Structure 1
Amino acid sequence: MPPPSPVPDLLARLESRHDLRVIHATLTGPGAWGVPGAPLAPPTVVALFTRAPDAYLGLAEPPDVLHGETDEPEAPSLVAWDARRAVRLALRSNALVWTWLSSPALDPATGLPAPGAPAVQALIDALAGSLSHGTVLADALAEAKEAMNTFLPDPPLAAARTKYGLVVRALMRTRWLLDRGTLPPASWESLRAGLAWPAEVAACLDSLEADTLTQRRLPVLDAWIDQVFDDARARGASLPDRHPPLALLDPLYRALVAPPGPPVPPAPASPRDRVLVSTP
């Protein structure tokens, strides 16, 4: 039986220390996304939170980005964002918000994988149809280039596997945008399953996943990487460059941060507020 997840305690301490309410949590990072050869560092929990309404009424803005603290070396790190700031970033098609929301969701009470609340899913659906594809493409290409230039001190074959995994996942996101015309998922498994692969490239991916590399360079996969960059240069400018409208996201944000529980029914009108209607 696996040990209990440290995530609930991490989130509970955050809520208690800062007087807030966590409304969504996801597990992010290469390990959480299933990238072959992902670094062994613990993944990151990204949480969205809200505060009581009066916390926003003072002249001093409360912090909108917080970091969790833990003494457990194997526990995930925690970054928590005020939902208001996160949705405001989404108004500008910030690709980071899509990365969080498309990553595996966690139940804050158990730390186990679980679907997000209906209000979160409504926000995800709205962003899927309104975020700028050009902005997400630029983020994916930047991620791929950063991975290509990262120095890894691991043994040569292990370093090659990790680097290929990071680069290919980013370019899977790129390929998804170019070929499918929708925003890409976060996980390696979903990305691979949703794209068409030449047999030679698929064999390279099989080798990465099975950790059976026998050489540091894979010419077939290198050619695929170059082709994705070429296609992005040729077709990237034609991707939709829209942004979510305020009128779309504002009610979704209000639903996201609404207090839990059934809505409170309105109080009955007092006699003086009632309109008397005479009957014939």
Structure 2
Amino acid sequence: MTEMTMKIRQELDALEQEEGIRILYACESGSRAWGFPSKDSDYDVRFIYVRPVDWYLSIFDKRDVIERPISEMLDISGWDLRKGLNLFRKSNPPLMEWLDSPIVYAEACHTAERLRQLSSQAYSPKASIYHYLHMARGNYRTYLQGEVVRIKKYFYVLRPILACEWILRKGTMPPIAFESLIEALLPKDGELSRQIEELLIRKKSGDEWDDQPRISVLNAYIEEQLASLEQAAAQLPGAKSGIDSELDELFRDLLREAWN
């Protein structure tokens, strides 16, 4: 166990004590989970938690998110279980990615495992592709329009575009690892793959904050994909039949398990 992993687990333990909660699942999100962290990348820790039964027996709406200020390379936030399950039934891609994270810090009551068993029923290709398409469009418009751009921003456009392409070809939730998307979707000996591989090397070595002239091959690919993906997304099927009763049952099960 690394020193940072120990620190993260200590922080999660402290959160349980301070907030009176039980953390059911905690994992790494962001660039470390995606497989392209730089030397100074933050640790983006995300978790699902549950409160005591009486907290839910109220006529009032209550805050269902816990966030801590970013400090010492740690960005920690979490969702209440009921919020998480409501987002899961809507095929929320960030939550689906958490369940697929290769870096898990905590799991109680087999929470992630039980959600993964229901994921194929909850998954909506249309909701997922629109999420990634919105992300790609927004990041491209904000960060990659100038003559000089920041290296790291290419990844925050390329990854969601490749995720969209995966959804169109496979009809399933895309893998969380960026390099798995490249290997599956791009020609290995093409100029596009070569440019992305060079950027990956530079980002991992710590050059991610460097500014440089925009890369015409990548910008052309991005613009072409954004246009075609918009048309393709509209043709995808919507959500499948509901799993509300299963999620209600899961909520009650996890609530009992967490506090018994």
The two structures have a TM-score, normalised by structure 1, of 0.76
Q: CA deviation at 1:88?
A: 1.1
Number of residues paired by the alignment? 248
- Between the aligned partners of 2:239 and 2:4, the Cα distance in structure 1 is 43
Structure 2 vs 1, CA of residues 253 and 57 (structure 1 numbering), >3 Å: closer, same or farther? closer
From 120, 127, 130, the equivalent of 1:138 is 130
Q: CA deviation at 1:89?
A: 1.8
Structure 2 vs 1, CA of residues 126 and 193 (structure 1 numbering), >3 Å: closer, same or farther? farther
Structure 2 vs 1, CA of residues 80 and 107 (structure 1 numbering), >3 Å: closer, same or farther? same
Specify the alignment match of 2:192 in structure 1.
201
Structure 2 vs 1, CA of residues 141 and 248 (structure 1 numbering), >3 Å: closer, same or farther? same
Q: The residue matched to 2:48 in structure 1 has which SS?
A: strand
Specify the alignment match of 2:169 in structure 1.
179
Q: The residue matched to 2:122 in structure 1 has which SS?
A: coil
The 8 Å contact of residues 119 and 256 in structure 1, kept in 2 or not, is answered as yes
- Between the aligned partners of 2:133 and 2:184, the Cα distance in structure 1 is 19
Q: CA deviation at 1:86?
A: 0.8
Matched, 1:235 2:232: yes
Q: CA deviation at 1:43?
A: 2.8
Structure 2 vs 1, CA of residues 151 and 201 (structure 1 numbering), >3 Å: closer, same or farther? closer
Aligned letter for 1:43?
A: Y
Q: CA deviation at 1:230?
A: 2.9
Aligned letter for 2:151?
A: R
- Between the aligned partners of 2:74 and 2:119, the Cα distance in structure 1 is 27
- Between the aligned partners of 2:32 and 2:86, the Cα distance in structure 1 is 28
Specify the alignment match of 2:201 in structure 1.
210
From 212, 216, 220, the equivalent of 1:219 is 216
**Structure that is richer in helix per residue:** 2
- Between the aligned partners of 1:27 and 1:197, the Cα distance in structure 2 is 29
Query: Percent same amino acid at aligned positions?
Result: 26
Alignment of 1:27-46 (within 5 A): 27-35=28-36, 40-46=40-46
Q: CA deviation at 1:41?
A: 4.9
Q: CA deviation at 1:49?
A: 0.5
Specify the alignment match of 2:100 in structure 1.
102
- Between the aligned partners of 2:186 and 2:121, the Cα distance in structure 1 is 23
Specify the alignment match of 1:21 in structure 2.
22
The two structures have a TM-score, normalised by structure 2, of 0.81
Aligned letter for 1:194?
A: A
Specify the alignment match of 1:269 in structure 2.
none
Specify the alignment match of 2:74 in structure 1.
76
Q: Deviations over 1:47-104 (max 9, x none)?
A: 101122222223444431112357xx32412112111111012223333322333334
The 8 Å contact of residues 31 and 40 in structure 1, kept in 2 or not, is answered as no
- Between the aligned partners of 2:174 and 2:63, the Cα distance in structure 1 is 31
The 8 Å contact of residues 30 and 166 in structure 1, kept in 2 or not, is answered as no
- Between the aligned partners of 2:157 and 2:218, the Cα distance in structure 1 is 11
Specify the alignment match of 1:275 in structure 2.
none
Q: The residue matched to 1:103 in structure 2 has which SS?
A: coil
Q: CA deviation at 1:255?
A: 4.0
Specify the alignment match of 1:270 in structure 2.
none
Matched, 1:164 2:154: yes
Q: Which runs of 5+ in 2 are unaligned?
A: none
The 8 Å contact of residues 137 and 177 in structure 1, kept in 2 or not, is answered as yes
Matched, 1:188 2:178: yes
**Structure that is richer in strand per residue:** 2
Aligned letter for 2:169?
A: D
Q: Which runs of 5+ in 1 are unaligned?
A: 109-114, 265-280
Structure 2 vs 1, CA of residues 32 and 105 (structure 1 numbering), >3 Å: closer, same or farther? closer
Q: The residue matched to 1:171 in structure 2 has which SS?
A: helix
Return the index of the structure with the highest Cα Rg.
1
Specify the alignment match of 1:66 in structure 2.
66
The 8 Å contact of residues 20 and 51 in structure 2, kept in 1 or not, is answered as yes
Structure 2 vs 1, CA of residues 189 and 94 (structure 1 numbering), >3 Å: closer, same or farther? same
Specify the alignment match of 2:243 in structure 1.
245
- Between the aligned partners of 1:200 and 1:10, the Cα distance in structure 2 is 44
Aligned letter for 1:135?
A: A
Matched, 1:121 2:113: yes
The 8 Å contact of residues 27 and 46 in structure 1, kept in 2 or not, is answered as yes
Structure 2 vs 1, CA of residues 146 and 8 (structure 1 numbering), >3 Å: closer, same or farther? same
